[in-house]
Chain A
Amino acid sequence: MIKIWSMKKNEDAAAKKKPKTSAAQIRVQKDLTELDLPPTMKTHFPDPADLLNFTLTITPDEGTRFLLLHISQSNSANNTSGMYKGGAFVFSFAINTNYPHDPPKVKCTQTIYHPNVDLEGNVCLNILREDWKPVLNLNSVMVGLQYLFLEPNADDPLNKEAAQEMSKNRDQFLNNVRASMRGGHIKGTQYDNVLVR
């Protein structure tokens, strides 16, 4: 009798066996379906069934009114927050099964001229590495990325030349940004044409 009971038990266990939605998967579903992105950012899923790999395209504008206000107070002579306007910058996102313990891996897919992005596409954004916390989400990362285009940070350079130019000669830097976005050469490096067509 005991044997039959135990067989019955195993059958139940087998019937219950199912692929269970993982915590990482639920969290990604929650993050994605609750994204609150401005019109300047769009996600694209090469395979809509794969939520863990996608791209984000940022088409920066002049920034929000708050940023303009902030900049006009501190730097009114040199309002540059729209310097990357007209470009479309594509970032790849790769999320692993240990999300949100591990941050998403984000890379710029184009060669761009930006103080905080190197020629391999690595991005210097604190919340992508040393300041990542599981309470942050995909929305925070995306907003952080967009902020880099409104306020590049010459103090944390990944493209050292661009950063030096930005702090030394702002006008030349802005020219370089425009030229690079058209696919030009700067100091021997060919940049990708990122202009919105």
Chain B
Amino acid sequence: MATETQSQPADWPGRYFHIDQVLNTPGPRTDESFLAGDGVKDFLRNKSKILVIGAGGLGCEILANLALTGFKDIHVIDMDTIDISNLNRQFLFRPKDVGKSKAIVAAEFIMKRVPGVKVTPYFGKIQDKDDAYYMQFNLVICGLDSVEARRWMNATLVNLVDPEEPESLKPLIDGGTEGFKGQARVILPTITSCYECSLDMLNKQTAFPICTIANTPRLPEHCIEWASVLEWPRVRGDLKLDTDDPEHIGWLYKIALARANEFKIEGVTWSLTQGVVKNIIPAIASTNAVIAAACCNEAFKIATSSAAYLNNYFMLIGTDGVYSYTFEHEKRDDCPVCGGEALEMTLKPTTTVEELIDILVEKQDIQIKKPSLSTPTKQIYFQAPPQLEEATRPNLEKKVSDLVPPGGEVTVTATTLPFSLSLRISYSE
């Protein structure tokens, strides 16, 4: 079905009339590298490849916007299936789609509706894909709802950057919404502040003191937390709470309701129970539309160089009227992902771990005291705690070349370092 629609004549007259007003001629704000006319149109429509992470509230808007602005090779990843509660705002889905993959249904819908656009879905986790997969894209847009997935995507794109290869730098456009608030930002991995740099700006999830939950519940949420934090592990033992399992939510609801009755608290409902344990914040369709538009606008500007892109953080506060603020979030030197120094180090194949530590300690320009070393998969030498020091001590006599492959990475931490230092090890003949 999809292939049929794809073979339709793609570009009918006037299709890109409005977009072409922007692309045909340079303006006062266009970048020097802007190739007005066919050059830029060819890149946007035939060469660029863009990846959308998430096909939910933001993702549906993003996919539609990208398709209509002229991106034609779009990939989308989402591990979720469609829930009936998504249908009010995730407008690519219909009641018949409930239970199907968001990525696949969204891709089919866009291809049917916007002829000539190829959307390639992947129904699964971003973590399933390797560096080679991410390397094929020019741009990545995230419309995610989890901190963990954003951290992973951000770290992956930062690590992809190879200074020798300009194309390995994949701009990351990250959108996010929470009720009436939202944010859009542009991250140029290793060049501008990354997601990890701003981790301490995040609001923490509302957590109630455990003693309030246990003794003096006053809110329906306290009763639900009592059921999920204290009663679930006590009664259900090691069974892991699955917030998508109706039986589990039903059980929590029953327990929370009994607790609420005991303390004469009103307001415990099935949907509040689900909302509290899944930490659901009501999604507002219009906030998603604004943020998705901002993200796609940035994608268009970066792909075409037709105007200056966002530097680098835009936030929207729609709780009292409409307020927005844009600022430059600064890169952190001690960021564990994009900060810290990386050193190329060439060692003799016979150099031992102890000798490497001596080299690090004596190196004038870094001045490390008591370094601890590890590779991505194992510890090499830890200064503390005593048990780990003892466990790793035998490694001191071993050759580094027996523990780290050529080109391998060693992470060094020490009190005297702001965060960590990463060494790339090579061996002389």
Binds B, one of A40-48, A80-88, A167-175, A185-193: A40-48
* Complex Cα spacing A20 to B342, Å: 13
The complex places the Cα of A132 from the Cα of B392 at a distance, in Å, of: 31
Q: Once the chains bind, are B210 and A43 in contact (CB under 8 Å)?
A: no
Q: In the complex, what's the smallest C-beta–C-beta distance from A192 to chain B, in angstroms?
A: 17
CA separation between A9 and B167, bound complex, in Å?
10
B376 at the interface (CB under 8 A from A): yes
- Kindly list chain A residues whose C-beta atoms are within 8 Å of the C-beta of B377: 19
CB 8 Å contact bits of A126-138 with B (1 = contact, 0 = none): 1011101111000
* B135, B382, B407: the one within 8 Å of A13 (CB): B135
Chain B count of residues within 8 A CB distance of the other chain: 54
Q: Which of A115-166 contact B (CB under 8 A)?
A: 116, 118, 120, 122-124, 126, 128-130, 132-135, 156-158, 160
List of B residues within 8 angstroms of A14 by Cβ: 132
Given A20-B159, A30-B420 in contact, is the A135-B200 Cβ separation under 8 Å? yes
B158 to chain A, nearest CB (A): 9
Instruction: Report yes or no: A158 in contact with B148, Cβ–Cβ below 8 A.
Output: no
Q: Mark B366-407, 1 if CB is under 8 A from A, else 0.
A: 000000101111110011110110011000000000000001
| Residue among A12, A129, A134 facing the most chain B CB atoms (10 A cut-off) | A129
Question: A75-107: which residues lie under 8 A (CB-CB) from chain B?
Answer: 97-98, 101
Q: Which of A3-19 contact B (CB under 8 A)?
A: 9-10, 12-19
CB nearest to B155 among chain A residues:
A23
Rounded to whole Å, the gap between the CB of A39 and the closest CB of chain B is 11
CB distance from B198 to the nearest CB of A (A): 11
**CB nearest to B164 among chain A residues:** A12
Q: Is A21 an interface residue (CB 8 A)?
A: yes
The listed residue with most B CB atoms (<10 A of its CB), out of A15, A33, A123, A132, is A33
The smallest beta-carbon distance between A23 and chain B, in angstroms, is 4
Q: Which residue of the partner chain, among B159, B204, B211, contacts A156 with CB atoms under 8 Å?
A: B211
A-B CB pair tally, cutoff 8 Å: 141
Inter-chain contact A130/B336, CB cutoff 8 Å: no
Cα-based distance from A84 to B391 in the complex (angstroms): 31
Residues of A within 8 A of B208 (CB): 129-130
Say whether B249 faces chain A, with CB atoms less than 8 Å apart: no
Is B196 interfacial (CB 8 A cutoff)? Answer: yes
CB < 8 Å neighbour of B383 from A33, A43, A51, A122: A33
Q: How far is the CA of A14 from the CA of B407 in the complex (A)?
A: 13
List which B188-208 residues lie within 8 A (CB) of chain A. Answer: 196, 199-200, 202, 204, 207-208
Query: Most chain-B CB neighbours within 10 Å: which of A14, A19, A30, A49?
Result: A30
Residue of B nearest to A41 (CB): B385
Task: Give the docked Cα–Cα distance between A10 and B336 (Å).
Answer: 27
Q: Chain B residues with Cβ under 8 A from A135's Cβ?
A: 200
Contact indicator A26/B387 (Cβ below 8 Å): no
Give the docked Cα–Cα distance between A129 and B230 (Å).
13
**B230/A122 in contact, CB under 8 A:** yes
Minimum CB–CB distance from B224 to chain A (whole Å) comes to: 15
Which of A26, A42, A122 is close to B210, meaning CB atoms less than 8 Å apart?
A: A122
Contacts A22-B155, A33-B413 given; does A158 touch B131 at CB 8 Å: no
Task: Looking at the assembled complex, report how far the CB atom of B415 sits from the nearest CB atom of chain A, in whole angstroms.
Answer: 5
Closest-CB distance, B390 to chain A (whole angstroms)? 9
Is the beta-carbon distance between B413 and A20 smaller than 8 angstroms?
Answer: no
Chain A residues with Cβ below 8 Å from B413 are 26, 29-30, 33-34
Q: A33-B413, A48-B388 are in contact. Are A23 and B196 (CB under 8 A)?
A: yes
B337 at the A/B interface (Cβ < 8 Å)?
A: yes
List the B side residues contacting A196 at CB < 8 Å. none
Residues of A within 8 A of B391 (CB): 45, 48
B408 close to A (CB within 8 Å)? yes
- Complex interface: chain B residues within 8 A of A134 (CB): 199-200
Chain A residues whose C-beta falls within 8 Å of the C-beta of B408 in the assembled complex: 18
Of the A-B pairs whose beta carbons lie under 8 Å apart in the complex, a sample of 6, sorted by A's number, is A12-B165, A20-B376, A23-B336, A26-B419, A27-B336, A29-B374
Q: Kindly list the 5 A-B residue pairs having the minimum CB-CB distance in the complex, ordered from nearest.
A: A33-B372, A48-B391, A156-B211, A23-B336, A19-B376
